[in-house]
Amino acid sequence: DQGESGPVTSPGGCVYITRPPLDQGTPMQDQHTSPPAVDLRGVTKRFGAVTAVDRLDLTIRSGEFFTMLGASGCGKTTTLRLIAGFDLPTEGQILISGQDVSEVPAYQRPVHTVFQSYALFPHMTILDNVAFPLKVRRLTRAEQRDRAMAALDMVQMGGLADRRPAQLSGGQQQRAALARALVSEPAVILLDEPLGALDLKLRKEMQHELKEMQRRLGITFVFVTHDQEEALTLSDRIALMQGGRIIQLDTPANLYNAPNTLYAASFIGETNLIPARVVGHDNGTGLVEALGRTRRIEGLAAPAGSAVTLALRPERIRREAGGEGPEGRLVGIDFIGTDLRLTYALADGSRMVVREQNRGTTIPRIGETARLGHDDDDLHIFTT
């Protein structure tokens, strides 16, 4: 199973300091009885000299909210298009609900794609838009209407069935596009940055609705985004992609708390990256010099003299009056409402960001000094 990353050494060259048990994720309702919703086996897609997707093996469980996350150009949209059948793989096999669909054209695959652009027909009412897939399948007019109305009710749009797309807000149009996806009861709904065109507040509301709807209906969602916060909020599991490959496939909690590469640590959330050096070993435990003291790191194989990077999340750092933490001088304050984001300058000139909840206590002043305390357990070490 690719879902849960191991806690010790990864091919990416990272070693974790001892970790608490990893989050295993929410069990899917029928993951042991039904075939996977989507199974990619050795899938490669090349466009001329560009390898957009590179030997991808990926199993998406039935009923899960699965997200492909990554920077622009990492291959997430291409992977989605391969599942949809809009593109064909150069190599490899694609199965949907256990059936090999490699040779099946897009319109016959049991999937429906929702795009950022909604792709609604402007001259048709919302009801006709939603009923359209059923019209293509030649259902009776009464069936088309009943099922389209039921799908619109699912997204709280029953009252707007007679409007045209131009008479709806962006959020309402996206709900209509979702209703059109739901109406044909596909095994899998593919969503390509579906909330990308919405303003931030509406986007947050729609995230909530989307997640709630997916849980209620139990349909497999395969979601593409470059927004890591959206991915963490919505997903049962996330595939973090880079260069056409998955570099970590995990639950949101594991991806955030136990990133397996420096790339994952810096892509997901904010993190302080601290340059450090291996100074020796003691009975299999690595000794690493960082932030003014030597730390013992279990299982660290990198030889003495190697440069390593430590990653430390801002919310794991405590401002203290004394202690062993490095001393910092406050040089920046971002007031975020729920949180304070404090930037400290250390003696060596580097910066360290500290994040703490706004509990209504006095905000520290620029120029104040503090010891920046942290637990060694919260450090992640990366050897590359």
- Residues forming contacts to ligand ATP in the complex (CB under 6 A) are 47, 50, 52, 70, 72-78, 226
Nearer to ligand ATP, 54 or 146 (CB): 54
Q: On the CB side of 182, how many CA atoms lie within 13 Å of its CA?
A: 24
Q: Cβ neighbours of residue 92 under 8 Å, at least 6 residues apart?
A: 40, 41, 42, 43, 44, 55, 56
Nearest distance in Å: CB 224, ligand ATP: 6
Nearer to ligand ATP, 51 or 369 (CB): 51
Nearer to ligand ATP, 226 or 380 (CB): 226
Nearest distance in Å: CB 321, ligand ATP: 46
Instruction: Give the Å distances, CA to CA, from 7 to 16, 41, 269.
Output: 7, 25, 20
Q: Cβ neighbours of residue 27 under 8 Å, at least 6 residues apart?
A: none
CA dist 3 and 57 (Å) reads 12
CA dist 77 and 116 (Å) reads 12
Q: Cβ neighbours of residue 150 under 8 Å, at least 6 residues apart?
A: none
Nearer to ligand ATP, 53 or 288 (CB): 53
273, amino acid identity: L
Nearer to ligand ATP, 196 or 364 (CB): 196
Nearest distance in Å: CB 234, ligand ATP: 17
Nearest distance in Å: CB 51, ligand ATP: 8
CA dist 253 and 23 (Å) reads 6
Nearest distance in Å: CB 119, ligand ATP: 16
